[in-house]
Amino acid sequence: MKPILQQVDSGMNSLISDLQKLIRQPSVSAKNEGIEECAKLCKKILEKHGIKSELLRLGKGVAPIVFGEIKSKKNPKKTLLFYNHYDVQPAEPFDLWEHPPFSGKKIGNKIFGRGSSDDKGELITRIKAVDAFLKKTGDVPCNIKFLIEGEEETGSANIDAYLKKFKKKFACDGVIWEFGYVDSKDRPIVGLGMKGLLYVELSVKESIRDAHSSLAVLIKNPAWRLIEAVHSLRDSNGKILIKDWYKEAEPLSKNDIKLINSEPFDENSFKKEFGIKSFLGNKSGLEAKKALVGDPTCNVAGFISGYTGNGAKTVLPGEAMVKIDFRLVPKMNPKKQIQRLKSHLKAIGFSDISVKVYHGEAAARTSPSDPFVSQVIDAANKSYGKSILNVSNAGTGPMYSFVNVLKAPCISIGSTYMFARIHSPNEFTRIDLLKKTTKCICHIMENFGKN
């Protein structure tokens, strides 16, 4: 492995340059901005590094998947798939960025820009790991496939259809997931799962137009109506009050709790980063860690009604809207949960509230006893010195679809510093972590090919 790891060291300028090219190509799926162009750029970069690639399509209006493949001469019977995405979150609010969001500005050990960490930085480490093997050996330790989608940031609405249509093309024995966190002490988190998600919009239209607020004695205010409805969904400690919401939720096992208990979590650093004094429900220690892994959530993502500009405007809004995301745990079915939400609103007198469903994804986890897990942990320890095993990430991705369709274990490991401001202004990636992660991916490929 020594010459391959040395190749990673010598190729860092190229890695940085390629990442900057990707960042400079906007690819905002929420606005369909630059999606086609970025897909073609990813294909071009894969091919530049000796990876045969093509664009896969479902139909008009659906972002293409970039598929890359290189077959191993030494071990053609084992296949490792890298799942990534080329789309990014919107960059707004632009005025909070210290550097243009699609500049790829390099300052010291950091590269700034939307997608620098999530997920273009992660993608480039995997491409460069393959490149290092090809440059030094002319081969890879196992078959390698890339599945790079363009709709992850809007909920991966078509990933299930893609996986089913191109199931043979995507067939593999293991999946390295699209991201992986590195904690505040530079320890990589080896993640074995993702929570599910149900994202909805609740809205009320009371009158045909906004009115003078003096008429609030006669005209119902839709904002108050929504506030009352949202207040019925959960208590002040975060417990969801919808009937049977937790009915199928799979509880944490004794082994899960043991692993969670051993996982370090710096509460003070976390609170300092976000400028908060305490956690919801005054959780601490093991309870805080268990919540991140195993608690469903009900979160208000945005609330819009009336006048929200500078100064005062005495207005009674004609309509109101709130966006809510629910995080789900294993065995919770998004379709069942949406029916429970609708039944709850109707039962307590809020049948006038419209419910729009954006998307739903089930949760998934890989067993800690799967042999793939020990291979990834070994690689992470070699590259970083020490890694941390995480039962499930608190975030969401379409992992369930991969497990369900491809029948392959999924593990997340990567370069994203936990406070890298992903989804926020001034997102960045650390160059030292990009290097360590590229080497980690090299070790994973080697371990996977041997076992």
Instruction: Report which residue type is found at 343.
Output: S
* Residue length of the chain: 451
Taking alpha carbons only, the member of 108, 59, 66, 58 closest to residue 86 is 66
Give the pLDDT of residue 125: 98
Query: Are the beta carbons of 390 and 189 closer than 8 angstroms?
Result: yes
CATH number of this structure's domain 2-192+366-450 = 3.40.630.10
Interstrand relation of 174-176 and 79-85 (parallel, antiparallel or unpaired): parallel
pTM: 0.88
Long-range Cβ pairs for the range 273-276 (8 Å, 24+): 273/419
Question: Residue 93, preceding bond cis, omega within 30 degrees?
Answer: yes
Give the pLDDT of residue 179: 86
Q: Is 211 exposed, middle or buried (0-12, 13-18, 19+ CB in 10 A)?
A: middle
126 CB-near residues (< 8 Å, 6+ apart): 82, 84, 146, 176, 438, 441
Give the pLDDT of residue 280: 96
Whole-angstrom Cα distance, residue 205 to residue 222? Answer: 7
Interstrand relation of 354-361 and 315-316 (parallel, antiparallel or unpaired): unpaired
439 CB-near residues (< 8 Å, 6+ apart): 5, 8, 129, 382, 383
Q: Which residues of 42-53 are buried (b: 16+ CB within 10 A; e: fewer)?
A: bbebbeebbbeb
Question: Residue 119, preceding bond cis, omega within 30 degrees?
Answer: yes
Spans of all domains in the chain = 2-192+366-450, 195-247+296-361, 250-295
* The two structure tokens encoding residue 132: 């290092």
DSSP 249: P
Give the pLDDT of residue 155: 84
* Strand partners of residue 130: none
Query: Are the beta carbons of 205 and 425 closer than 8 angstroms?
Result: no
Query: Are the beta carbons of 375 and 447 closer than 8 angstroms?
Result: yes
Q: pLDDT 10s digit of each residue in the chain, 451 long?
A: 999 999 999 999 999 999 999 999 999 999 999 999 999 999 999 999 999 999 999 989 999 999 999 999 999 999 999 999 999 999 999 999 999 999 999 999 999 999 999 999 999 999 999 999 999 999 999 999 999 999 999 889 899 999 999 999 999 999 999 989 999 899 999 999 999 999 999 999 999 999 999 999 999 999 999 999 999 999 999 999 999 999 999 999 999 999 999 998 889 989 998 999 999 999 999 999 999 999 999 999 999 999 999 999 999 999 999 999 999 999 999 999 999 999 999 999 999 999 999 989 999 999 999 999 999 999 999 999 999 999 999 988 899 999 999 999 999 999 999 999 999 999 999 999 999 999 999 999 999 999 8
Phi then psi dihedrals of residue 172, to 5 deg: -160, 175
Query: Are the beta carbons of 184 and 382 closer than 8 angstroms?
Result: no
- Cα 423–Cα 197–Cα 123 angle in degrees, nearest 5: 45
| Torsion (CA) 124, 130, 132, 136 in degrees, nearest 10 | -170
Interstrand relation of 193-205 and 364-365 (parallel, antiparallel or unpaired): antiparallel
Task: Give domain 195-247+296-361's CATH architecture.
Answer: 2-Layer Sandwich (3.30)
Q: Is 312 exposed, middle or buried (0-12, 13-18, 19+ CB in 10 A)?
A: exposed
Give the pLDDT of residue 38: 98
